[in-house]
Structure formats: structure tokens, C-alpha cells
Amino acid sequence: SDEVYVTTWRYWPLPVRGVARASLLERLQLALQFAASVLRLPVTRVYRCVFNDEATSCSPVGARHAMANGIALRGTTIYVVDVLRFAVTVYERRRDGSLVVNDTISLPHAADNVYALPDGSLLLGSMPKLHQCLDPLAQTPPVAGALTLAVPRPPAPNDDRAVGVRGYGDPRWTFRDIVRTDGGQVS
């Protein structure tokens, strides 16, 4: 049988006909989803889906997340980005397909996607200054997105490090924004 791991970044799906035409129940779900996000409640999961000739089944594995989004696999290690908690949860995959938390990496800013490099480093699609994008009175173009390189080593004094709303992030890692954009060139 084959398997795949997926994340759910929302507890409830977005309304099928759009937010403007949402039913009363869908509007309630949107409000509850917003409240869960603001409070960073662990309501999203990682699912392991198994495919074989007879059936497909998906079941939750690992810990709950506030907003599990990006996921990457390198060997038996699975990395899951929690956007709202500014963290990457590092899982070890067991032989039975279950996931055990091995570590948590604190990020200097929000990230949503992750790619695991062969040397143990991570590339993160990041939102370093998201608060600037949400401020209608901001005078300078915001840094809406970045590609952040996370290297598993403590930073050196002369490193050009990414600084976010949470300082420099996990002291065991060095974070560097290697690409920054105001969002104008991103589709």
C-alpha cells in the first residue's frame, strides 16, 4: 500500500459558494474559525492517508496544531509548519506510520511552506512582517514575503540574520531571509 501525509490549515472548510453567499451555519463556522485562530487553539491536524486496491483511509497522526500548513519529508523525518505558532514541529515517522514529536523549532516570524534540504537545513516560505501588510497607514512598502533559510547551527556574531516579530527565533538555528518581496512580484 502507498501512503501520503497531509495537513489541514482550517478546522472547517471555506464556504462552497463563497463567504458572501455563506449559509448561517457556514457563517458561524467562519466566526468560530476566526476565534480559534486569534486564540491559537490547536484545532488542525496532520493526516496519514493509506491507499491500497480495496480502499483509501485517512486518520489523524501526531500532535494538534493551531494552523498546520506546510509539510516536508526527509527520510523518516517529517516537518510541519504551524503558521500561527511561528514554529516547525519535527516528527519522527514510526514503522506503523504514526508520528512522534521529536523537536519544535521556534521561528522568528510566520511561515507557511517548508522544504527540507539534504544537509538538514530548511527553506521556509515566510511572512516576516505580516503586521505591516495589515496596517493601512504604513508609509513604506511592507516586506510581505520572504524565502527564509534555516540552518541547524547557532548563529555566528557576523551572520546576517532574519529578525521577526519574535526576535531571532530558536537559538539552535540560524535564520536568514535570502529573498524578500513586497508581494508585488508574487502570484
Residue listed under C-alpha cell 455563506: 22
The most confident of 92-101, 111-120, 154-163, by mean pLDDT: 92-101
- pLDDT at residue 182, as a whole number: 53
Q: In the chain, what are the helix, strand and coil shares in percent, each to the nearest 5?
A: 10, 45, 45
pLDDT digits (tens, 9 = 90+) for 30-50: 999 989 988 999 999 999 999
Q: How far apart are CA 108 and CA 77, in angstroms?
A: 22
Sign of the CA dihedral with 64 first, then 70, 71, and 77 last:
negative
The CA-CA-CA angle for residues 76, 121, 75, to 5°, reads 15
CA distances from 57 to 1, 50, 179 (A): 11, 5, 39
- pLDDT at residue 187, as a whole number: 37
- pLDDT at residue 27, as a whole number: 92
Q: How far apart are CA 67 and CA 139, in angstroms?
A: 30
The most confident of 30-34, 133-137, 168-172, 173-177, by mean pLDDT: 30-34
Q: Answer whether 0.85 is exceeded by the pTM.
A: no
Residue 28 neighbours by CB under 8 Å, 6+ apart? none
